[in-house]
Structure 1
Amino acid sequence: MLLFLSLLFLSFPFPSLSLNQEGLYLERVKLGLSDPTHALSNWNQRDETPCNWSGITCDSVTQRVHSVDLSNSFLSGPFPTFLCRLPSLTFISLNNNSINSSLPVDFDMCQNLESLDLGQNLLVGPIPESLAYLPNLRYLSLAGNNLTGEIPVKFGEFRRLETLLLAGNFLNGTIPSQLGNISTLEFLYIAYNPFTPSPFPIQLANLTNLKELWLSDCKLIGPIPTSLSRLTRLENLDLSQNRLTGPIPSSLAELKNIVQIELFNNSLSGTLPVGFANLTKLRRFDASMNQLTGTIPNELCELELESLNLYENRLEGILPESIAKSPNLYELKLFNNKLNGQLPSELGQKSPLRSLDVSYNGFSGEIPENLCAKGVLEDLILIYNSFSGKIPESLGKCRSLGRARLRNNRLSGTVPEEFWGLPRVYLVELVGNSLSGQVSVRISGAYNLSVLLISDNKFSGHIPMEIGFLGNLIEFSASNNMFAGPIPGSLVNLSVLNRLVLNGNELSGGFPAGIRGWKSLNELNLANNKLSGPIPDEIGNLPVLNYLDLSGNHFSGKIPLELQTLKLNLLNLSNNMLSGELPPLFAKEIYKNSFVGNPGLCGDLEGLCPEMGESKKMSFLWLLRSIFILAGLVFVVGVVWFYFRYRNYKKGKKGITISKWRSFHKLGFSEFEIADSLKEDNVIGSGASGKVYKVVLSNGETVAVKKLSGGSRKEDASANYDKDEFEVEVETLGKIRHKNIVRLWCCCNNGDCKLLVYEYMPNGSLGDLLHSSKGGPLDWPTRYKIALDAAEGLSYLHHDCVPPIVHRDVKSNNILLDGEFGARVADFGVAKVVQGVNKGTESMSVIAGSCGYIAPEYAYTLRVNEKSDIYSFGVVILELVTGRLPIDPEFGEKDLVKWVYSTLDQKGVDQVIDPKLDSSFKDEICRVLDVGLRCTSSLPISRPSMRRVVNMLQEAGVESKLKSSKKDGKLSPYYHEEASDEVQLRIES
């Protein structure tokens, strides 16, 4: 007996004599969990009961624990089974922690449990069917975990269950029809699971108490059952993002209590059903991204809708006048359809309209006067229609307006004066109309204005100096108008201005003083005006200027030497009155078109100075004579050199001398083993630079040996190595130590033969696995890991090496994979160490890199910096997302980058993502795709640094795939994120 008591005592570390049995059980719970934020720090053994501990609630009479709520406590570890030993426990919540085990098979000890919330954790394994045997369970949430297997059929035996949340796991199989037997069920969330494609389980129509049904992205196929009309208590129905076909059943009109219907992103067809007039509680109806046809029924428009989303369908015809009569309509989105006619004149008059988007249709007529009658209109997006007439005067009084996008219509007349000075507006887009008059000085009141786009109109007069008072202005585009007079001096005060486009006007005078203030200016386009005077030296001090076009003006004087410090994608100074010598950096044939049409401009470029032609002819004759003399000398020297070279070759033919070997790591093998193993049977690859051998050494290690040809290969344009590039590879890799850079063990150079010995990568290159028959399909987690590893390797080169190293040939074939698919960046034969004061840029004599990966500015200017690598890495990301080659005959004249942009614009993201990838990762894939689009921006300044790329990829992986479906920390089955305007603007541009 004493022994038994001793063992019992030892089983509870340091128990207090005063703490009751329930407190001891909870102490065991605490010991089994990791608590980095000390959320359980007041679970103190000195207390008599745990009733005052954090997260613990006791019965006021019996002092027994009946509730444990440890949600949002950053706890990790296995599920604490000791909780089930608390006899009166009815409530457990561990929501939003890192509980990371499988669930216990047996829950028999939790017989009194009424609520179990384990959502938003890291649970794995199958769902135990024993949960169905808890007689009192009313609430069960396992959403947002990593659970696998099928939903237990036994779940159909729940007696009192009211809420079942299983969304956002990795459950497979099909949705069991037995769930239709849970007659008490009110909330059923099963969305975002990779189920086997199957029809909608019609047995769910038996759940007559159901209020919310969330089956988004459940691989449902076939029609929507008409029997859903039996769910008369249903308030929210979400069947979005499935593969449902057929018409929308008119029987849905019998759901008298329905508030929200979400059917977007399916393949539904036919017309919108009639009979919705009786759905008096319906506030949101979204049937976007389907294949619907026909017009919008008047009765749908007469409902008190808060949101009507029908974009990206095939809707045709006119918009019914009755849509304007809905008193609660605050959001109307009908973009990307084939609607025409006029907008109803009463639109906005009876409803608090906040957002109107009817872009990409065929609407005509005038913009309704009453859109902002209730004073709450924030977004007005009417781009790409045929609206005509004036901008309504009432919009000038709409002080709530934040975005006014009226691009590409047929608007005319003057803009209301008050419209220019709206206090909350941050985007004004009037491009591509026939608007006239002047920009009002009242624009100074638009102090939130960030983007002002008024190009391709008939505006005239002076550009008001008040624009220079808009401290938040990022972009000002006013090209192809009739503006005259000088460039306002106040514009130099716009320190965050990124883009200034004023080409195609009648502007005169010179540059305003103080342009050093344009610290953020990326693009400056003043072409085709009447500007004159010198080009100021200060332009060369604008740190991020990338696009400079001053062509078609009357600028005179010399070209400032300071322009050579800029990292330009485009330089155009043609058709001016410039004179003098070209700056040395620009005295190259590739820059010729940048300077033509300047009669006084001289240089060595043919055609710039015709009067120099005769002297060049005489110089050519002297050069030709010198070449003949030099050729004779070279021939004699060559014969002598060949004789001695051949004699040395015969002496050294027997083998590679050990004295030529150079090691960079402690080796466990002999260099002689390498030389003896270079046999044709061991070749695993070959290219223009030589062959690659797989060598298995006597100690069991395996290495890869690249054998390069000696001598200069510069004359061979296809070669990857010139006479210095072996040394570049050696000097670069010899000093690098990073887990994501391939290791160079040793090398040999005896003149005739050059060997590089690397660590062996058993899974070959990423390019082979993605695009050839050598490897099987790569799933998304593996592709994501490869992208992150390679990004970390490049980040090390750019940010942690002193001086930085630019790879210059980043591509999928130069990303090698080890046995665990860890990625290593390889092949540094054309890498460059960026040196000097202007270490961000170095001019190259030839283009290095591979077709489809070369950044646009690199091909044009031959100037290399880290941004070139970032562009190439962005192409690799696009390969991982799309599964496509960077150059493909299917693209026509496009490369992968252009194909992705155009496909996103025309067909949407689903046509870009590799169809072999699991759609359950779509959110994460889209975030990584966005990183790739940022990296492949045509403007180098817009590309993130590699360090930032690593951070963005890490964030894309850490975020749960349910992140876009959360709201205020809770799952919301009625939220879906639409394409941001930033992405839309990027695609349009």
Structure 2
Amino acid sequence: MNSFVNIIVLVFLSLFATLDQACNQIDQETLLSLNFSASNPPLNWSFSTDCCFWEGIKCDSKARVTHLWLPYRGLSGSIYPFIGNLTHLCHLNLSHNHLSGPLAINSFSLVIHLETLDLSYNSFSGQFLSSFFQLAENLITLNVSHNMFSGSIPSFTSWNNKSLSSLKILDFSYNDFSGQLPPGLGNCSKLQTFRAGFNYLSGSIPDDISAATSLQEISLPGNQLSGAISDGVGNLTSLSMLDLQSNKFSGLIPQDIGKLTNLKSLQLHTNSLSGFLPQSLMNCTNLITLNLRINNFRGDLSAYNFSTLHNLHTIDLGNNNFTGSFPLTLTSCKALIAIRLSRNKIVGQISPEILALESLSYLSITNNNFSNITGAIRILMGCKNLRMLLLCKNFFHEAIPDENQRAISSYAFQNLLVLGIGDCEIKGQIPTWLARLKKLQVLDLGSNQITGSIPGWLGNMPNLFYIDLPYNSISGEFPKEFCGLRALALQEVKNRADGSQLQLPLFVPKTKIALYNQQYNKLFSLPPAIYLRNNSLNGSIPIEIGNLKFLHVLDLSLNNFSGEIPDQISQLTNLEGLDLSENNLHGEIPLSIIDLHFLSSFSVANNDLQGQIPSGGQFLTFPSSSFEGNPRLCGDIVQRQSSCYFIHPTTDELASPNESSNNELRNGIIAGVVFGFIIGSVSGMLYPLHRLKLWQTLCAWIERKGQ
């Protein structure tokens, strides 16, 4: 019993001894001096409590602050210069906040203890001083990514040797660093991760990087690095990721790349690499992602044996000079989810062996020379998980298969979200089997030789929000059923849009409205659009078009539409691009269109419109070419005002496209008309004069008098 009491007493004495170890006063005052504030809820930092119990703070046995750990807290302000007084700080993590200003951590007693420094995702600026690295002795992790640091990355040869031997993670990515990659990285014997992507770095990769044999990740995308990829990369046998995309590298892939048997991701796309793929690449049996898009590689794809890459999920060989046929050895890679072979010189047909890829979700073979579209559709409909199918610029001058050919199963493409068969010059009508694709969101049949009318059932597809049918020979009227497209009319459908990341980005070429090629990594980021440009559509634009409240782009140009521009277009409050040019539209431009505040591209050129061009709003930004070819339009933008009043060509009555609220002006014009007729009758000159010119002269005179 006595021993039990003694234990209790010792516990309480120990507890009181611990409580007596209050937070170091200097540390507490330093923390309160830091010039930042937190968003709700505020930090629980106060002089009245022990700082060792504050949020984000940890202390050692001597009540000295060792951890300042406040990521994702909405912090703003700066940390300079007082943080240097936290001389026992080992771990500093202020990532994902809104902190700014320079980083001047020069205190030896602070830096010498730092093991973790994570300031990523803030707005720190200025240069990263080399003196920091000369002082650091215990640094393991340094992450300053996603800031605004500038200048050069300090040379690794000037770093403290103890720090070089302890470093495991270095991340300089997403800043404004410039200059060359500094030498000395090979001295970092324990370095596992080196990232410096999306800066302004130039020059080549220092050769001594091949001595950093513990490296597992090299990530340098989005710079201006050049030269060849060193053969020494084969020494980095622990490497699992090599990302050198979007630079200016040239030359060959190193022949010893096959030594990297732990490599899972090889991303060399968007460079100037050339030559054949080294056969040793097939020894990288752990590869999950292989992306070599946009280079100058060549060779017969069907001659490569991809079957060893049994872990491969994504392969992108697009935009190269590969020849041959579809590589059937890829069908042995059972884990494949995404294949892109677009923009090469591949010929032949789609083989039924592709059905072995049961997980295939993304297939793009655009811009090659495949043939037999009926066979391709019949085979690919068996890929039950296919969501993205891009076949554009193939199957030239063939006929698009329809149900009467019994080539399409009623269960085909039930998971398909995107179907692209554009720029093929294929013949026929819009196939009826499309009506079964209830999940389809994007349809591209543009630049073909499709005839007939737009079927009304296309407007009943529940998820369709992007329709691309330009440059065909489609006739008939704009189907009113289009105005009921649920994905363009209902908020609830829009909210259900799939926001997941695509396995490979989707590229949409430039149009008259979208002036630049766009890359989309998520399907729901694609602007909802209806492109019907350059067909033979006629009739009026239905007033029901105002139902499509989530439409971003409407292109009806180069058709035979007639009638007036419906005022209901002003209900398309998300509209960014509207092109009604090259039609037979007449009447006025509805004044309400100025309420389309997101409208950045607009044209009604070459119609038969009349009256005052609306002023204000986005109309102040459109060029005069948006209105050319309508001689009876007037306004400052076309430098015509007097033509706003004229004799109607059929009724011979005074026509005022925009009735003025100023009765005096109106009466003055009418009086001028009567006066003109009297003078003309007396002089015998009325009929030789063109009536429109007479009215323009009179209106100009009245305007001058009004001034």
Q: TM-score range by the shorter chain?
A: 0.5 to 0.7
Match of 1:162 among 112, 115, 121: 115
Partner of 1:927: none
Structure 2: how far apart are the matches of 1:319 and 1:281?
Answer: 22
Which residue, out of 185, 193, 213, partners 1:228? 185
Residue 467 (str. 1) matches residue 434 (str. 2): yes
TM-score, normalised with respect to structure 2: 0.63
CA separation in 1, counterparts of 2:19 and 2:101?
Answer: 39
2:104 to 136, 142, 151: 151
Q: Is the 8 A contact 1:501 1:525 kept in 2?
A: yes
Q: CA shift at 1:77, angstroms?
A: 5.8
CA distance in 2 between counterparts of 1:855 and 1:351 reads: 56
One of 510, 525, 530 as aligned partner of 1:523: 530
Shift of 1:324: 3.0
How has the CA–CA distance of structure 1 residues 74 and 165 changed in structure 2, closer, same or farther, with 3 Å as cutoff? same
Aligned-residue offset at 1:235: 0.8
Q: Structure 1, residues 163-199: CA drift from partner, whole Å, max 9, x if none?
A: 1223334243432334344332211223344445135
- Amino acid paired to 2:199: N
Partner of 1:204: 159
| 2:175 pairs with 1:407 | no
Instruction: Note if contact 2:307-2:330 (Cα within 8 Å) is conserved in structure 1.
Output: yes
Distance 2:563 2:369 in 1: 43
Find 1:183's aligned residue among 131, 134, 137: 137
Structure 2 CA distance, aligned partners of 1:386 and 1:244? 34
Q: 1:442 to 1:322 in 2, by over 3 A?
A: farther
Name the CA distance, whole Å, in 1 between partners of 2:17 and 2:535: 87
- Asked if 1 retains the 8 angstrom alpha-carbon contact of 2:43 and 2:55, the reply is no
How much has 1:524 moved relative to structure 2? 6.0
Contact 1:392/1:416 (<8 A) preserved: no
- Identify if the C-alpha distance between structure 1 residues 807 and 246 changes in structure 2 by more than 3 Å, giving closer, same or farther: closer
Q: Write the distance in 1 (CA, Å) between the matches of 2:599 and 2:473.
A: 45
Give, in angstroms, the shift of residue 155 of structure 1: 4.1
Matches within 5 A, 1:365-384: 365-384=324-343
Q: Deviations over 1:10-42 (max 9, x none)?
A: xxxxxxxxxxxxxxxxxxxxxxxxxxxxxxxxx
1:288 pairs with 2:232: no
Secondary structure, aligned partner of 1:341: strand
1:455 to 413, 422, 434: 422
Q: Where in structure 2 are the equivalents of 1:490-889 lying within 5 Å?
A: 490-502=457-469, 517-518=484-485, 520=488, 523=530, 525=532, 539-543=542-546, 544=548, 546-548=554-556, 569-570=579-580, 586=586, 806=595, 844-846=611-613, 848=615, 853-854=621-622, 859=627
SS in 2 for 1:268: strand
CA contact (8 A) 2:229 2:254 kept: yes
Q: Are positions 1:327 and 2:285 aligned together? A: yes
Question: 1:297, CA displacement in angstroms?
Answer: 0.6
Q: What amino acid does structure 1 have at the position aligned with 2:380? A: F
User: Against the structure 1 CA distance between its residues 66 and 403, is the aligned structure 2 distance closer, same or farther, given a 3 Å change threshold?
Assistant: farther
For the 8 Å contact 1:84–1:109, the answer to whether it is kept is no
C-alpha change, 1:94 and 1:346, in structure 2 (3 Å) is: farther
Indicate yes or no: 2:161 matched with 1:394: no
For 2:545, give the aligned amino acid.
L
Q: How does 1:901-980 map to 2 (within 5 A)?
A: none
Kept in 2: contact 1:290–1:312 (CA 8 A):
yes
Matched ranges for 1:78-97 at <5 A: 79-84=45-50, 93=56
Residues 60, 378 of structure 1: CA spacing in aligned structure 2 closer, same or farther, 3 A cutoff? farther
The answer on whether the counterparts of 1:444 and 1:467 sit within 8 Å (CA) in structure 2 is no
Distance in 1 (CA, whole Å) between partners of 2:320 and 2:298 is: 7
The separation in 2 between residues aligned to 1:502 and 1:237, in whole angstroms, is 47
CA distance in 2, matches of 1:145, 1:386: 49
Shift of 1:454: 0.7
Closer/same/farther in 2, CA of residues 260 and 201 from structure 1, 3 Å limit: same
Asked whether the equivalents of residues 487 and 507 of structure 1 are also in contact (C-alpha less than 8 Å), the reply is yes
Residue 807 of structure 1 and its aligned partner are, at CA, apart by: 10
Change (3 A) 1:810 1:510: closer
1:337 to 295, 301, 307: 295
Q: Is the 8 A contact 2:298 2:322 kept in 1?
A: yes
Q: Secondary structure at the match of 2:612?
A: coil
**Residue 213 of structure 2: aligned partner:** 256
Q: CA deviation at 1:130?
A: 4.0
For 1:483 and 1:175, how far apart are their aligned partners in 2? 64
Q: Give deviations 1:624-660, integer Å, cap 9, x for gaps.
A: xxxxxxxxxxxxxxxxxxxxxxxxxxxxxxxxxxxxx
- The 1:290–1:438 alpha-carbon spacing in structure 2 relative to 1, beyond 3 Å, is closer
Structure-2 separation of matches of 1:216 and 1:513 = 51
Identify if the C-alpha distance between structure 1 residues 527 and 238 changes in structure 2 by more than 3 Å, giving closer, same or farther: closer
- Per-residue deviation, 1:212: 0.7
Q: Say which SS state the counterpart of residue 542 (structure 1) adopts.
A: helix
Residue 185 of structure 2 aligns with an amino acid whose one-letter code is: L
Residues 408/84 of structure 1: CA separation in 2 closer, same or farther (3 Å cut): same
Q: 1:238 to 1:109 in 2, by over 3 A?
A: same
Aligned residues: 528
Residues in 2 aligned to 1:345 and 1:331: alpha-carbon distance in whole angstroms: 17
- Whether contact under 8 Å (1:156, 1:180) holds in the other structure is no
The whole-number CA distance in structure 1 between the counterparts of 2:131 and 2:372 is 63
From 136, 140, 143, give the equivalent of 2:92.
140
Q: CA separation in 2, counterparts of 1:268 and 1:808?
A: 42
CA separation in 2, counterparts of 1:139 and 1:334?
39
Alignment of 1:355-366 (within 5 A): 355-366=314-325
Distance in 2 (alpha carbons) for counterparts of 1:192 and 1:561:
51
Identity %, equivalent residues: 24
Name the structure 1 match of 2:271: 313
Q: Is the 8 A contact 2:388 2:418 kept in 1?
A: yes
Cα 1:270–1:379 shift into 2, 3 Å: same
DSSP-derived class of the 2:65 partner? coil
Cα distance change, pair 84–363 in 1 and its aligned pair in 2 (3 A): farther
User: What residue is the counterpart of 1:555 in the other structure?
Assistant: none
Task: Determine which of 365, 374, 384 is the counterpart of 1:423.
Answer: 384
The CA deviation at 1:446 is 1.9
Q: 2:394 aligns with which of 433, 446, 452?
A: 433
Alignment of 1:243-282 (within 5 A): 243-282=200-239
Structure 2 stretches of 5 or more lacking a match? 1-13, 29-36, 402-406, 489-527, 571-577, 601-608, 631-707
Structure 2 match to 1:75: 41
C-alpha distance in 2 between matches for 1:108 and 1:147: 29
User: Structure 1, unaligned stretches of length 5 or more?
Assistant: 1-57, 96-106, 553-557, 575-584, 591-797, 812-841, 863-989
Aligned amino acid, residue 212 of structure 2 = L
Once the two structures are TM-superposed, the CA of residue 441 in structure 1 deviates from its matched residue by 2.0
In the TM superposition, residue 443 of structure 1 has moved relative to its aligned partner by 7.2
Q: Which amino acid aligns with 2:333?
A: K
Residue of structure 1 equivalent to 2:651: none
1:854 Cα deviation after fit: 0.4
Q: How far apart are 1:66 and its partner, in Å?
A: 10
Q: CA deviation at 1:467?
A: 0.7
Say if 1:515 and 1:75 are closer, same or farther in 2 by CA, change over 3 A: closer
SS in 1 for 2:380: helix
Q: 1:124 to 1:281 in 2, by over 3 A?
A: same
Whether contact under 8 Å (2:350, 2:379) holds in the other structure is no
Deviation at 1:276, TM superposition (A): 2.5
When residues 263 and 218 of structure 1 are mapped into structure 2, their CA distance, relative to the original with a 3 A threshold, is: same
Q: Which moved more, 1:355-364 or 1:437-446?
A: 437-446
Shift of 1:140: 1.9
Confirm or deny that 1:126 pairs with 2:129. Answer: no
Q: Distance in 1 between matches of 2:222 and 2:289?
A: 19
1:484–1:275 CA distance, 2 compared to 1 (3 A):
same
Whether the aligned pair in 2 keeps the contact of 1:482 and 1:505 (CA below 8 Å) is yes
Shift of 1:159: 4.9
